[in-house]
Structure 1
Amino acid sequence: MPAPKNSFKAALANDEMLYGCWAGFGDPYATEVLATAGFDWLVIDGEHAPNDLRSISAQIAVLSGKHSHPVVRLPMGEDWAIKQVLDAGAQTLLIPMVESADQARALVRAMRYPPEGIRGSGAALARASHFSTIPDYIATANAQMCLLVQVETVDGITALDEILEVEGVDGVFIGPSDLAADMGHMGDSSAPPVARVIKDALARIAASDKAAGILALDHATAQEYAGCGAQFLAVGIDVVMLAQTARATMAKWRDDG
Protein backbone atom coordinates (compact mmCIF):
# COMPACT_ATOMS: atom_id res chain seq x y z
CA MET A 1 0.00 0.00 0.00
CA PRO A 2 1.46 3.37 -1.04
CA ALA A 3 1.55 6.70 0.80
CA PRO A 4 -1.77 8.60 0.76
CA LYS A 5 -2.39 10.68 -2.33
CA ASN A 6 -1.81 14.38 -1.82
CA SER A 7 -5.08 15.78 -3.15
CA PHE A 8 -3.84 19.38 -2.91
CA LYS A 9 -0.75 18.64 -5.01
CA ALA A 10 -2.89 16.83 -7.57
CA ALA A 11 -5.35 19.72 -7.77
CA LEU A 12 -2.54 22.21 -8.36
CA ALA A 13 -1.20 20.02 -11.15
CA ASN A 14 -4.69 19.99 -12.70
CA ASP A 15 -4.80 23.82 -12.66
CA GLU A 16 -7.75 23.85 -10.27
CA MET A 17 -8.58 27.03 -8.36
CA LEU A 18 -8.16 26.42 -4.63
CA TYR A 19 -9.45 28.75 -1.89
CA GLY A 20 -7.84 28.66 1.52
CA CYS A 21 -7.85 30.20 4.96
CA TRP A 22 -5.30 30.78 7.71
CA ALA A 23 -5.76 28.73 10.89
CA GLY A 24 -4.14 30.87 13.54
CA PHE A 25 -5.66 29.83 16.85
CA GLY A 26 -3.17 27.03 17.42
CA ASP A 27 -5.96 24.76 18.62
CA PRO A 28 -7.43 21.64 16.95
CA TYR A 29 -10.99 22.45 18.02
CA ALA A 30 -10.94 25.80 16.23
CA THR A 31 -9.36 24.23 13.14
CA GLU A 32 -12.00 21.51 13.09
CA VAL A 33 -14.71 24.18 13.17
CA LEU A 34 -12.96 26.07 10.36
CA ALA A 35 -12.92 22.92 8.23
CA THR A 36 -16.74 22.83 8.23
CA ALA A 37 -16.69 25.92 5.99
CA GLY A 38 -15.35 23.83 3.12
CA PHE A 39 -12.12 25.68 2.39
CA ASP A 40 -9.93 23.72 -0.01
CA TRP A 41 -6.85 24.25 2.17
CA LEU A 42 -6.04 25.54 5.63
CA VAL A 43 -2.70 26.94 6.72
CA ILE A 44 -1.65 25.60 10.11
CA ASP A 45 0.63 28.52 10.87
CA GLY A 46 3.79 27.89 12.82
CA GLU A 47 5.39 31.22 11.93
CA HIS A 48 3.07 33.85 13.38
CA ALA A 49 0.59 31.74 15.36
CA PRO A 50 1.18 30.06 18.76
CA ASN A 51 1.80 26.58 17.34
CA ASP A 52 4.35 23.94 18.23
CA LEU A 53 4.87 20.38 17.00
CA ARG A 54 2.16 18.94 19.23
CA SER A 55 -0.50 21.48 18.26
CA ILE A 56 0.41 21.16 14.57
CA SER A 57 0.18 17.37 14.87
CA ALA A 58 -3.22 17.60 16.56
CA GLN A 59 -4.59 19.86 13.84
CA ILE A 60 -3.35 17.56 11.09
CA ALA A 61 -5.20 14.76 12.88
CA VAL A 62 -8.55 16.58 13.04
CA LEU A 63 -8.31 17.41 9.33
CA SER A 64 -7.83 13.78 8.37
CA GLY A 65 -10.63 12.78 6.01
CA LYS A 66 -11.90 16.37 5.71
CA HIS A 67 -12.14 18.32 2.47
CA SER A 68 -9.79 21.01 3.80
CA HIS A 69 -6.18 20.03 3.14
CA PRO A 70 -3.63 20.93 5.84
CA VAL A 71 -0.80 23.17 4.66
CA VAL A 72 1.79 23.53 7.42
CA ARG A 73 3.77 26.75 7.55
CA LEU A 74 6.96 26.42 9.53
CA PRO A 75 8.76 29.46 10.94
CA MET A 76 11.89 28.41 9.04
CA GLY A 77 13.14 25.80 6.61
CA GLU A 78 15.32 23.80 8.99
CA ASP A 79 15.82 20.14 8.05
CA TRP A 80 14.97 18.84 11.53
CA ALA A 81 11.71 20.80 11.72
CA ILE A 82 10.66 19.65 8.26
CA LYS A 83 11.35 16.04 9.22
CA GLN A 84 9.22 16.30 12.34
CA VAL A 85 6.10 17.74 10.70
CA LEU A 86 6.33 15.31 7.78
CA ASP A 87 6.44 12.42 10.23
CA ALA A 88 3.41 13.98 11.96
CA GLY A 89 1.53 13.52 8.69
CA ALA A 90 2.00 16.77 6.79
CA GLN A 91 2.40 16.38 3.05
CA THR A 92 2.33 20.05 2.05
CA LEU A 93 4.65 22.66 3.53
CA LEU A 94 4.73 26.44 3.14
CA ILE A 95 8.19 27.81 3.91
CA PRO A 96 8.71 31.55 4.42
CA MET A 97 11.46 33.90 3.27
CA VAL A 98 12.85 31.91 0.34
CA GLU A 99 15.31 34.11 -1.52
CA SER A 100 17.31 31.85 -3.84
CA ALA A 101 17.14 28.77 -6.01
CA ASP A 102 19.75 27.09 -3.81
CA GLN A 103 17.53 27.59 -0.78
CA ALA A 104 14.57 26.13 -2.67
CA ARG A 105 16.60 23.11 -3.76
CA ALA A 106 17.65 22.47 -0.17
CA LEU A 107 14.01 22.51 0.92
CA VAL A 108 13.09 20.01 -1.81
CA ARG A 109 15.80 17.66 -0.54
CA ALA A 110 14.72 18.07 3.09
CA MET A 111 11.25 16.81 2.16
CA ARG A 112 12.44 13.66 0.38
CA TYR A 113 13.98 10.37 1.35
CA PRO A 114 17.33 9.34 -0.17
CA PRO A 115 18.59 9.23 -2.81
CA GLU A 116 16.49 12.27 -3.85
CA GLY A 117 16.88 13.93 -0.47
CA ILE A 118 17.98 13.77 3.15
CA ARG A 119 14.79 13.08 5.09
CA GLY A 120 15.44 10.76 8.01
CA SER A 121 13.85 7.33 7.71
CA GLY A 122 11.92 7.01 10.96
CA ALA A 123 8.30 7.08 9.87
CA ALA A 124 7.56 3.63 11.24
CA LEU A 125 6.60 5.19 14.60
CA ALA A 126 4.75 8.16 13.10
CA ARG A 127 1.33 9.13 11.81
CA ALA A 128 2.77 9.57 8.30
CA SER A 129 2.95 5.79 7.85
CA HIS A 130 -0.29 5.30 9.78
CA PHE A 131 1.94 3.88 12.50
CA SER A 132 3.52 1.24 10.26
CA THR A 133 0.29 0.14 8.59
CA ILE A 134 1.46 1.55 5.22
CA PRO A 135 4.27 -0.85 4.31
CA ASP A 136 5.28 1.06 1.17
CA TYR A 137 5.25 4.52 2.75
CA ILE A 138 8.99 5.23 2.55
CA ALA A 139 9.18 3.91 -1.02
CA THR A 140 6.29 6.07 -2.24
CA ALA A 141 6.18 9.17 0.00
CA ASN A 142 8.47 11.37 -2.10
CA ALA A 143 5.96 11.60 -4.94
CA GLN A 144 3.29 12.98 -2.60
CA MET A 145 5.36 15.77 -1.06
CA CYS A 146 4.23 19.28 -2.00
CA LEU A 147 6.50 22.29 -1.44
CA LEU A 148 5.21 25.85 -1.50
CA VAL A 149 7.89 28.51 -1.10
CA GLN A 150 7.17 32.05 0.04
CA VAL A 151 8.80 34.84 -1.92
CA GLU A 152 8.37 37.99 0.13
CA THR A 153 11.48 40.13 -0.19
CA VAL A 154 13.15 42.15 -2.91
CA ASP A 155 15.92 39.53 -3.06
CA GLY A 156 13.31 36.81 -3.50
CA ILE A 157 11.63 38.69 -6.33
CA THR A 158 15.02 39.19 -7.99
CA ALA A 159 15.65 35.43 -7.81
CA LEU A 160 12.09 34.45 -8.79
CA ASP A 161 12.87 33.21 -12.30
CA GLU A 162 15.64 30.96 -10.94
CA ILE A 163 13.37 29.68 -8.17
CA LEU A 164 10.74 28.82 -10.76
CA GLU A 165 13.23 26.51 -12.47
CA VAL A 166 13.75 24.36 -9.36
CA GLU A 167 12.33 20.87 -9.79
CA GLY A 168 10.28 19.80 -6.81
CA VAL A 169 8.84 23.21 -6.02
CA ASP A 170 5.09 22.95 -6.61
CA GLY A 171 4.04 26.53 -5.94
CA VAL A 172 5.31 29.98 -5.11
CA PHE A 173 3.40 32.08 -2.61
CA ILE A 174 3.88 35.84 -2.67
CA GLY A 175 3.94 37.36 0.83
CA PRO A 176 2.46 40.84 0.31
CA SER A 177 3.01 42.23 3.80
CA ASP A 178 6.69 41.38 4.13
CA LEU A 179 7.32 42.38 0.54
CA ALA A 180 5.74 45.77 1.15
CA ALA A 181 7.88 46.24 4.25
CA ASP A 182 11.05 45.29 2.39
CA MET A 183 10.16 47.77 -0.34
CA GLY A 184 9.76 50.59 2.18
CA HIS A 185 5.95 50.56 2.36
CA MET A 186 5.38 49.08 5.82
CA GLY A 187 1.83 47.76 6.18
CA ASP A 188 0.72 48.91 2.71
CA SER A 189 0.80 46.17 0.10
CA SER A 190 -1.59 48.28 -2.01
CA ALA A 191 1.05 50.97 -2.57
CA PRO A 192 1.43 51.27 -6.37
CA PRO A 193 5.09 50.13 -6.55
CA VAL A 194 4.32 47.08 -4.39
CA ALA A 195 1.11 46.25 -6.24
CA ARG A 196 2.96 46.32 -9.55
CA VAL A 197 5.62 43.91 -8.30
CA ILE A 198 3.00 41.55 -6.85
CA LYS A 199 0.96 41.42 -10.04
CA ASP A 200 4.05 40.90 -12.19
CA ALA A 201 5.28 38.12 -9.90
CA LEU A 202 1.93 36.32 -9.94
CA ALA A 203 1.85 36.49 -13.74
CA ARG A 204 5.39 35.14 -14.02
CA ILE A 205 4.62 32.25 -11.67
CA ALA A 206 1.37 31.44 -13.48
CA ALA A 207 3.22 31.36 -16.80
CA SER A 208 5.62 28.73 -15.42
CA ASP A 209 4.90 25.14 -14.43
CA LYS A 210 4.43 26.22 -10.80
CA ALA A 211 1.22 27.36 -9.11
CA ALA A 212 0.91 30.94 -7.87
CA GLY A 213 -0.45 31.72 -4.42
CA ILE A 214 -1.17 34.73 -2.23
CA LEU A 215 -3.29 35.97 0.68
CA ALA A 216 -5.87 38.75 0.33
CA LEU A 217 -8.55 39.58 2.89
CA ASP A 218 -10.19 42.23 0.72
CA HIS A 219 -12.57 40.62 -1.78
CA ALA A 220 -11.82 42.98 -4.64
CA THR A 221 -8.08 42.58 -4.16
CA ALA A 222 -8.42 38.81 -4.02
CA GLN A 223 -10.33 38.84 -7.31
CA GLU A 224 -7.65 41.03 -8.82
CA TYR A 225 -4.94 38.60 -7.73
CA ALA A 226 -6.93 35.70 -9.19
CA GLY A 227 -7.06 37.60 -12.45
CA CYS A 228 -3.28 37.90 -12.36
CA GLY A 229 -2.91 34.13 -12.10
CA ALA A 230 -3.19 33.24 -8.41
CA GLN A 231 -4.30 29.61 -8.23
CA PHE A 232 -4.17 28.86 -4.51
CA LEU A 233 -5.72 31.91 -2.95
CA ALA A 234 -6.10 32.45 0.80
CA VAL A 235 -9.16 34.60 1.44
CA GLY A 236 -9.43 34.65 5.23
CA ILE A 237 -7.72 34.45 8.60
CA ASP A 238 -9.74 32.77 11.34
CA VAL A 239 -8.49 35.02 14.13
CA VAL A 240 -9.35 38.13 12.12
CA MET A 241 -12.78 36.79 11.22
CA LEU A 242 -13.64 36.09 14.85
CA ALA A 243 -12.36 39.50 15.96
CA GLN A 244 -14.27 41.36 13.26
CA THR A 245 -17.52 39.48 13.88
CA ALA A 246 -17.28 39.90 17.65
CA ARG A 247 -16.60 43.62 17.39
CA ALA A 248 -19.37 44.16 14.86
CA THR A 249 -21.85 42.24 17.03
CA MET A 250 -21.01 44.26 20.13
CA ALA A 251 -21.06 47.53 18.19
CA LYS A 252 -24.52 46.73 16.85
CA TRP A 253 -25.89 46.10 20.33
CA ARG A 254 -24.32 49.25 21.68
CA ASP A 255 -25.85 51.22 18.80
CA ASP A 256 -29.26 49.59 19.32
CA GLY A 257 -29.05 50.32 23.02
Structure 2
Amino acid sequence: MEMPFNSFKAAIASKLTRYGLWAGFASGYAAEIAASSDYDWMLIDGEHAPNTVPTILNQLQAVAPYRTAPVVRSVNGDPSLIKQLLDIGVQTLMVPMVETAEQARSIVRAMRYPPYGIRGVGGGLARATRWDSVPDYLSTAHQSLCLIVQVESRLGVENVEEIAAVEGVDAVFVGPADLSIGLGYPGNPSHPEVQTQIRRAIDATISAGKAVGILAPHEEDARRYAEWGCTFIAVGIDISLFRQAAATNLARYRSTNTKASESSRTY
Protein backbone atom coordinates (compact mmCIF):
# COMPACT_ATOMS: atom_id res chain seq x y z
CA MET A 1 0.00 0.00 0.00
CA GLU A 2 1.32 3.46 -0.89
CA MET A 3 1.76 6.34 1.51
CA PRO A 4 -1.40 8.50 1.48
CA PHE A 5 -0.79 11.57 -0.69
CA ASN A 6 -0.83 14.94 1.10
CA SER A 7 -2.71 17.11 -1.38
CA PHE A 8 -2.53 20.16 0.89
CA LYS A 9 1.26 20.09 1.06
CA ALA A 10 1.43 19.81 -2.72
CA ALA A 11 -1.11 22.61 -3.21
CA ILE A 12 0.63 25.23 -1.07
CA ALA A 13 3.81 24.79 -3.09
CA SER A 14 2.08 26.61 -5.95
CA LYS A 15 1.32 30.33 -6.18
CA LEU A 16 -2.44 29.80 -6.45
CA THR A 17 -4.54 30.91 -3.48
CA ARG A 18 -6.38 28.07 -1.77
CA TYR A 19 -9.57 28.89 0.12
CA GLY A 20 -10.55 27.04 3.26
CA LEU A 21 -13.25 26.67 5.89
CA TRP A 22 -12.79 26.60 9.68
CA ALA A 23 -14.58 23.55 11.11
CA GLY A 24 -15.65 23.92 14.73
CA PHE A 25 -18.69 21.68 15.18
CA ALA A 26 -16.52 18.73 16.32
CA SER A 27 -18.78 16.42 14.33
CA GLY A 28 -17.95 14.01 11.54
CA TYR A 29 -21.36 14.58 10.00
CA ALA A 30 -20.91 18.36 9.93
CA ALA A 31 -17.35 18.00 8.64
CA GLU A 32 -18.55 15.82 5.78
CA ILE A 33 -21.21 18.36 4.81
CA ALA A 34 -18.52 21.05 4.79
CA ALA A 35 -16.20 18.90 2.69
CA SER A 36 -18.96 18.28 0.17
CA SER A 37 -19.11 22.03 -0.50
CA ASP A 38 -15.68 21.73 -2.16
CA TYR A 39 -13.48 24.15 -0.25
CA ASP A 40 -9.81 23.55 -1.05
CA TRP A 41 -9.05 22.79 2.60
CA MET A 42 -10.68 22.75 6.00
CA LEU A 43 -9.30 23.32 9.48
CA ILE A 44 -10.44 20.81 12.09
CA ASP A 45 -9.95 22.86 15.24
CA GLY A 46 -8.57 21.06 18.28
CA GLU A 47 -7.71 24.25 20.15
CA HIS A 48 -10.98 26.15 20.61
CA ALA A 49 -13.57 23.62 19.42
CA PRO A 50 -14.61 20.76 21.78
CA ASN A 51 -12.53 18.15 19.97
CA THR A 52 -10.64 15.12 21.27
CA VAL A 53 -8.39 12.66 19.45
CA PRO A 54 -11.36 10.32 18.73
CA THR A 55 -13.57 13.14 17.36
CA ILE A 56 -10.73 14.34 15.15
CA LEU A 57 -10.27 10.79 13.85
CA ASN A 58 -14.00 10.61 13.12
CA GLN A 59 -13.79 13.80 11.06
CA LEU A 60 -10.70 12.65 9.15
CA GLN A 61 -12.56 9.48 8.19
CA ALA A 62 -15.66 11.44 7.20
CA VAL A 63 -13.88 13.81 4.82
CA ALA A 64 -11.45 11.27 3.34
CA PRO A 65 -13.52 10.63 0.15
CA TYR A 66 -13.67 14.34 -0.71
CA ARG A 67 -11.32 16.74 -2.47
CA THR A 68 -11.19 19.10 0.53
CA ALA A 69 -7.86 18.60 2.32
CA PRO A 70 -8.04 18.36 6.14
CA VAL A 71 -5.73 20.39 8.34
CA VAL A 72 -5.80 19.70 12.08
CA ARG A 73 -4.98 22.32 14.71
CA SER A 74 -3.72 20.85 17.97
CA VAL A 75 -4.40 22.50 21.30
CA ASN A 76 -0.65 23.03 21.77
CA GLY A 77 2.75 21.63 20.80
CA ASP A 78 2.80 18.79 23.34
CA PRO A 79 4.87 15.96 21.76
CA SER A 80 2.61 13.28 23.27
CA LEU A 81 -0.47 14.82 21.68
CA ILE A 82 1.33 15.34 18.37
CA LYS A 83 2.28 11.65 18.40
CA GLN A 84 -1.36 10.64 18.84
CA LEU A 85 -2.56 12.99 16.08
CA LEU A 86 0.03 11.77 13.59
CA ASP A 87 -0.75 8.14 14.40
CA ILE A 88 -4.46 8.60 13.64
CA GLY A 89 -3.50 9.92 10.21
CA VAL A 90 -3.12 13.67 10.54
CA GLN A 91 -0.80 14.68 7.71
CA THR A 92 -1.06 18.47 7.99
CA LEU A 93 -0.70 19.79 11.51
CA MET A 94 -1.15 23.38 12.68
CA VAL A 95 0.30 24.33 16.06
CA PRO A 96 -0.88 27.55 17.73
CA MET A 97 1.09 30.32 19.46
CA VAL A 98 4.59 29.57 18.23
CA GLU A 99 6.83 32.39 19.39
CA THR A 100 10.44 31.28 18.92
CA ALA A 101 12.56 29.31 16.47
CA GLU A 102 13.50 26.85 19.22
CA GLN A 103 9.82 26.17 19.88
CA ALA A 104 9.34 25.52 16.15
CA ARG A 105 12.34 23.17 16.10
CA SER A 106 10.95 21.20 19.04
CA ILE A 107 7.67 20.70 17.15
CA VAL A 108 9.58 19.49 14.10
CA ARG A 109 11.39 16.97 16.31
CA ALA A 110 8.06 15.77 17.70
CA MET A 111 6.92 14.99 14.15
CA ARG A 112 10.00 12.98 13.15
CA TYR A 113 11.34 9.60 14.13
CA PRO A 114 14.82 9.13 15.61
CA PRO A 115 17.57 9.99 14.89
CA TYR A 116 16.00 13.23 13.60
CA GLY A 117 13.30 13.54 16.24
CA ILE A 118 11.47 11.94 19.15
CA ARG A 119 8.27 10.56 17.61
CA GLY A 120 7.38 7.16 19.05
CA VAL A 121 6.68 4.17 16.81
CA GLY A 122 3.06 3.06 16.70
CA GLY A 123 3.54 0.41 14.03
CA GLY A 124 0.53 -1.82 13.53
CA LEU A 125 -1.57 0.27 15.92
CA ALA A 126 -1.39 3.39 13.74
CA ARG A 127 -3.87 4.38 11.07
CA ALA A 128 -1.10 6.52 9.57
CA THR A 129 0.84 3.39 8.57
CA ARG A 130 -2.36 1.75 7.39
CA TRP A 131 -1.69 -0.69 10.19
CA ASP A 132 1.81 -1.55 8.97
CA SER A 133 0.77 -1.79 5.31
CA VAL A 134 2.82 1.21 4.10
CA PRO A 135 6.35 0.06 3.22
CA ASP A 136 9.20 2.09 4.71
CA TYR A 137 6.81 4.36 6.62
CA LEU A 138 9.39 5.04 9.33
CA SER A 139 11.94 6.38 6.86
CA THR A 140 9.55 8.24 4.54
CA ALA A 141 6.76 9.59 6.80
CA HIS A 142 8.25 13.08 6.99
CA GLN A 143 7.86 13.46 3.22
CA SER A 144 4.06 13.37 3.50
CA LEU A 145 3.78 15.48 6.65
CA CYS A 146 3.19 19.23 6.59
CA LEU A 147 3.80 21.50 9.58
CA ILE A 148 2.09 24.88 9.89
CA VAL A 149 3.12 27.06 12.84
CA GLN A 150 0.89 29.88 13.99
CA VAL A 151 2.42 33.30 14.60
CA GLU A 152 -0.14 35.26 16.60
CA SER A 153 1.63 37.32 19.25
CA ARG A 154 3.95 40.30 19.46
CA LEU A 155 6.87 38.01 20.33
CA GLY A 156 6.00 35.65 17.51
CA VAL A 157 6.11 38.47 14.96
CA GLU A 158 9.38 39.75 16.43
CA ASN A 159 10.86 36.30 15.79
CA VAL A 160 9.00 35.45 12.60
CA GLU A 161 12.06 35.57 10.34
CA GLU A 162 13.82 32.93 12.45
CA ILE A 163 10.66 30.85 12.88
CA ALA A 164 9.94 30.74 9.15
CA ALA A 165 13.54 29.73 8.41
CA VAL A 166 13.37 26.57 10.55
CA GLU A 167 13.88 23.43 8.46
CA GLY A 168 10.77 21.29 8.72
CA VAL A 169 8.37 24.23 9.03
CA ASP A 170 6.36 24.19 5.80
CA ALA A 171 4.16 27.22 6.38
CA VAL A 172 3.30 30.03 8.78
CA PHE A 173 -0.29 30.89 9.65
CA VAL A 174 -0.99 34.37 10.99
CA GLY A 175 -3.66 34.69 13.70
CA PRO A 176 -5.21 38.19 13.48
CA ALA A 177 -7.49 37.85 16.52
CA ASP A 178 -4.82 36.87 19.06
CA LEU A 179 -2.33 39.25 17.49
CA SER A 180 -4.73 42.19 17.78
CA ILE A 181 -5.47 41.56 21.45
CA GLY A 182 -1.78 41.02 22.18
CA LEU A 183 -0.98 44.38 20.60
CA GLY A 184 -3.62 46.13 22.68
CA TYR A 185 -6.42 46.31 20.11
CA PRO A 186 -8.87 43.55 21.14
CA GLY A 187 -11.37 42.68 18.45
CA ASN A 188 -9.78 45.12 16.01
CA PRO A 189 -7.42 43.28 13.64
CA SER A 190 -7.98 46.08 11.10
CA HIS A 191 -6.08 48.57 13.27
CA PRO A 192 -3.11 49.97 11.31
CA GLU A 193 -0.55 48.67 13.81
CA VAL A 194 -1.99 45.17 13.66
CA GLN A 195 -2.06 45.29 9.87
CA THR A 196 1.58 46.38 9.85
CA GLN A 197 2.56 43.38 11.97
CA ILE A 198 0.49 41.03 9.80
CA ARG A 199 2.23 42.36 6.71
CA ARG A 200 5.63 41.89 8.34
CA ALA A 201 4.83 38.24 9.14
CA ILE A 202 3.60 37.60 5.61
CA ASP A 203 6.62 39.23 3.97
CA ALA A 204 9.10 37.44 6.24
CA THR A 205 7.53 34.05 5.55
CA ILE A 206 7.55 34.58 1.80
CA SER A 207 11.18 35.73 1.98
CA ALA A 208 12.03 32.46 3.73
CA GLY A 209 10.48 30.57 0.82
CA LYS A 210 7.59 29.22 2.86
CA ALA A 211 3.83 29.38 2.32
CA VAL A 212 1.76 31.72 4.46
CA GLY A 213 -1.89 31.51 5.46
CA ILE A 214 -4.43 33.49 7.47
CA LEU A 215 -8.00 33.50 8.76
CA ALA A 216 -10.08 36.17 7.00
CA PRO A 217 -13.87 35.69 7.13
CA HIS A 218 -14.47 39.17 5.67
CA GLU A 219 -14.11 39.35 1.89
CA GLU A 220 -12.16 42.61 1.73
CA ASP A 221 -9.62 41.25 4.22
CA ALA A 222 -9.27 37.97 2.33
CA ARG A 223 -8.67 39.74 -0.97
CA ARG A 224 -6.09 42.07 0.60
CA TYR A 225 -4.20 39.20 2.19
CA ALA A 226 -4.21 37.33 -1.10
CA GLU A 227 -2.67 40.40 -2.76
CA TRP A 228 -0.03 40.47 -0.02
CA GLY A 229 0.94 36.87 -0.84
CA CYS A 230 -1.10 34.54 1.36
CA THR A 231 -1.62 31.27 -0.51
CA PHE A 232 -4.08 29.61 1.85
CA ILE A 233 -6.86 31.62 3.41
CA ALA A 234 -9.74 30.48 5.62
CA VAL A 235 -12.66 32.56 4.37
CA GLY A 236 -15.39 31.23 6.64
CA ILE A 237 -16.14 29.52 9.96
CA ASP A 238 -18.82 26.83 9.85
CA ILE A 239 -20.39 27.79 13.19
CA SER A 240 -20.55 31.48 12.25
CA LEU A 241 -22.02 30.69 8.83
CA PHE A 242 -24.68 28.50 10.42
CA ARG A 243 -25.56 31.07 13.06
CA GLN A 244 -25.72 33.92 10.54
CA ALA A 245 -27.89 31.93 8.13
CA ALA A 246 -30.20 30.81 10.93
CA ALA A 247 -30.55 34.36 12.28
CA THR A 248 -31.18 35.79 8.81
CA ASN A 249 -33.82 33.16 8.10
CA LEU A 250 -35.65 33.85 11.37
CA ALA A 251 -35.47 37.62 10.90
CA ARG A 252 -37.25 37.29 7.56
CA TYR A 253 -40.34 35.84 9.27
CA ARG A 254 -40.17 37.91 12.44
CA SER A 255 -40.11 41.01 10.26
CA THR A 256 -43.25 39.82 8.47
CA ASN A 257 -45.01 39.21 11.80
CA THR A 258 -44.06 42.65 13.09
CA LYS A 259 -45.44 44.35 9.99
CA ALA A 260 -48.65 42.35 10.18
CA SER A 261 -49.07 43.19 13.87
CA GLU A 262 -48.56 46.89 13.24
CA SER A 263 -51.06 46.98 10.37
CA SER A 264 -53.74 45.29 12.52
CA ARG A 265 -53.55 47.78 15.36
CA THR A 266 -56.62 49.91 16.07
CA TYR A 267 -55.90 53.54 16.74
Q: TM-score, normalised by structure 2?
A: 0.93
- Aligned residue identity for 1:80: S
Cα deviation for residue 197 of structure 1 reads 1.3
Alignment gaps of 5+ in structure 2 = 258-267
SS in 1 for 2:5: coil
Letter in 1 for 2:151: V
Matches within 5 A, 1:52-201: 52-201=52-201
C-alpha distance in 2, partners of 1:129/1:65?
Answer: 18
Residue 6 of structure 1 aligns with an amino acid whose one-letter code is N
CA deviations over 1:127-151 (Å, ceiling 9, x no partner): 1111222233222211111000000
Measure the CA separation in 1 of the matches of 2:182 and 2:252. Answer: 38
SS at match of 2:71: strand
- How big is each residue's C-alpha offset from its partner over 1:169-208, in whole Å with a ceiling of 9 and x where there is no partner? 0000000000000000011101111112112221222232
Indicate conservation of the 8 Å contact 1:2/1:137, yes or no.
no
Partner Cα distance (2:209, 2:54) in 1: 34
Question: Aligned-residue CA RMSD in angstroms?
Answer: 1.1
Q: Which residue of 2 aligns with 1:222?
A: 222
**Structure 1 gaps, min length 5:** none
Question: Equivalents in 2 of 1:6, 1:123: separation in Å?
Answer: 20
2:206 corresponds to which residue?
Answer: 206
Deviation, structure 1 residue 30: 0.2
Structure 1 residue 2 displacement after superposition: 4.1
Residues 214-241 of structure 1 deviation map (CA, whole Å, 9 limit, x = unaligned) = 0011101110011111111000000000
Q: Do 1:101 and 1:162's aligned partners in 2 also have CA atoms closer than 8 Å?
A: yes
CA contact (8 A) 1:108 1:168 kept: yes
Structure 2 distance, partners of 1:203, 1:183, is 19
- Which residue is equivalent to 1:254? 254
For 1:3 and 1:160, the matched residues in 2 are separated by 32
Offset of 1:82 from its aligned partner? 0.3
Q: Which moved more, 1:128-137 or 1:212-221?
A: 128-137
1:49-92 superposed Cα distances (whole Å, 9 cap, x missing partner) = 01001100100111113111111101100000000010000000
Percent identity (aligned): 47
- Distance in 2 (CA, whole Å) between partners of 1:2 and 1:38 is 25
Matched residue, 2:260: none
Provide the rounded CA distance (Å) in 2 between the counterparts of 1:126 and 1:163: 30
Distance in structure 2 (CA, Å) of the matches to 1:203 and 1:228: 8
Q: Which stretch has the larger CA shift, 206-215 or 101-110?
A: 206-215
CA distance in 2 between counterparts of 1:187 and 1:229 reads 24
State the distance in 1 between where 2:22 and 2:91 align: 17
2:243 matched residue in structure 1: 243
Letter in 2 for 1:200: R
TM-score normalised by the chain length of structure 1:
0.97
In the alignment, which residue of structure 1 is the partner of 2:263?
A: none
* Rounded Cα–Cα distance in structure 2 between residues aligned with 1:105 and 1:96: 14
Matched, 1:47 2:19: no
Please identify the structure whose Cα radius of gyration is greater.
2
Report the secondary structure of 2:212's partner residue: strand
In terms of mean alpha carbon deviation, does 44-53 or 203-212 score higher?
203-212
Bigger Cα displacement from structure 2, 58-67 vs 243-252: 58-67
The whole-number CA distance in structure 1 between the counterparts of 2:65 and 2:142 is 21
Answer yes or no: is the 8 Å Cα contact 1:26–1:51 preserved in 2: yes
User: Which stretch has the larger CA shift, 225-234 or 116-125?
Assistant: 116-125
